[in-house]
């Protein structure tokens, strides 16, 4: 079974608008962390935001926020005020306590920001 | 300043000709990873080192080997590259702590096999 599911292969948004990228996960481990990475066409994976399973509040980092709904096992990324430079591939990933050093990635969402 | 450095950024090799990709880090992280990423796919973990302990993923082909001579450097050796090995190879590092410590990725090496 897929541990991380990103159901949107591609998303389009107008510049300056907000966009939500979906991510659902599957784990029975009570201790886990959720990550979002951005990968521009240049290839480098850029860390955006982190949410721990025991965190009470949703994580925020500048224009990025994570809508964490633990009971629904979802960790959607919200990008506010989209910019042209936000066009990239976005990956959701999870590390479980029982998986040690391993990070499990979703298949990614290709975001295109239109002017 | 770059924290995870990969050289070269682009590598062209011939079918069957051994190739080595390198990764270095200035973060003094004890965990280093190698991923293979093909076009429009998620990164696939090949192996990782926890200090000097080598951890191979079960489905990593024998054609792929790795060396970590010290904390700062890690190498990926592809003994006999095939056309299917053309991909982006990403190195990442992490401090081993709880689940929350993020991985820091290098810029990647794009490998082309002719």
Spatial contact of A2 and A52, defined as CB atoms under 8 Å apart: no
The two three-digit tokens of residue B106, written as one number: 């290098």
Which residue, chain included where needed, has tokens 């510049």? A15
pLDDT at B1: 67
Assign A85 to helix, strand or coil. helix
B42, B94, B107 ranked by CB distance to A44: nearest: B107
Percent of chain A with pLDDT over 70: 98
pLDDT at A1: 61
Higher per-residue confidence, B85 vs A100: B85
Q: What is the distance, to the nearest Å, from the Cα of residue B94 to the centroid of all Cα atoms in its chain?
A: 13
Any idea what DSSP says for residue B62? T
B42, B100, B102 ranked by CB distance to A105: nearest: B42
Q: What is the distance, to the nearest Å, from the Cα of residue A64 to the centroid of all Cα atoms in its chain?
A: 10
- pLDDT tens digits for chain B (114 residues)? 669 999 899 999 999 999 999 999 999 999 999 999 998 899 999 999 999 999 999 899 999 999 999 999 999 999 999 999 999 999 999 987 777 788 899 999 999 999
Spatial contact of A109 and A24, defined as CB atoms under 8 Å apart: no
Say yes or no for a CB contact (<8 Å) between B107 and A95: no
The two three-digit tokens of residue A59, written as one number: 């994580």
pLDDT at A80: 96
């Amino acid at each position: 079974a897929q541990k991380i599911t990103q159901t949107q292969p591609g998303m389009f948004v107008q510049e300056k608008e907000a966009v939500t990228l979906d991510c659902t996960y599957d784990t029975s481990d009570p201790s886990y962390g959720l990550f979002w990475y951005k990968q521009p066409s240049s290839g480098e994976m850029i860390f955006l935001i982190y949410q721990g399973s025991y965190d009470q509040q949703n994580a925020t980092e500048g224009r990025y926020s994570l809508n964490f709904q633990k009971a629904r096992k979802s960790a959607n990324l919200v990008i506010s005020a989209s910019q042209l430079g936000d066009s990239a591939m976005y990956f959701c990933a999870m590390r479980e306590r029982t998986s040690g050093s391993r990070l499990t990635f979703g298949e990614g969402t290709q975001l295109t920001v239109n002017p | 300043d770059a924290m995870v450095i990969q050289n070269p950024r682009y590598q062209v090799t011939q079918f069957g000709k051994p190739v080595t990709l390198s990764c270095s880090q200035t973060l003094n992280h004890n965990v280093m990873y190698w991923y293979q990423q093909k076009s429009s796919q998620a990164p696939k973990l090949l192996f990782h080192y926890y200090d000097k302990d080598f951890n191979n993923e079960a489905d990593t082909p024998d054609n792929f080997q790795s060396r970590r001579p010290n904390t700062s450097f890690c190498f990926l050796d592809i003994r006999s590259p095939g056309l299917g090995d053309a991909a982006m190879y990403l190195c990442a590092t992490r401090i081993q702590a709880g689940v929350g410590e993020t991985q820091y990725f290098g810029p990647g090496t794009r490998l082309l096999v002719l």
